[in-house]
Amino acid sequence: MISRFQERAKAVQNRGIPPVEGPERRAFVERAKIDYMDYAMLGDAKAQLVDGILTLTIDLRSESSKD
Q: Which pLDDT tens digit goes with each residue over 24-45?
A: 999 999 999 999 999 999 999 9
Distance from C-alpha of 29 to C-alpha of 35, rounded to nearest angstrom: 10
Tell me the backbone φ, ψ of residue 56, rounded to 5 degrees.
Answer: -105, 125
Q: In the chain, what is the greatest distance between 2 CA atoms, to the nearest angstrom? A: 50
Q: Which residues on adjacent β-strands are paired with residue 47?
A: 56
Residues sharing a CB contact under 8 Å with residue 46, sequence separation 6 or more, in sequence order: 56, 57, 58
> How much is the pLDDT for 60?
87
Q: Please tell me the predicted confidence (pLDDT) of residue 18.
A: 83
pLDDT in tens, 52-65: 999 999 998 887 77
Mean pLDDT over 14-22 rounds to 87
C-alpha angle with apex 57: 3 to 49, nearest 5 degrees?
A: 70
pTM score over 0.95: no
* Mean pLDDT, range 17-27, rounded to an integer: 89
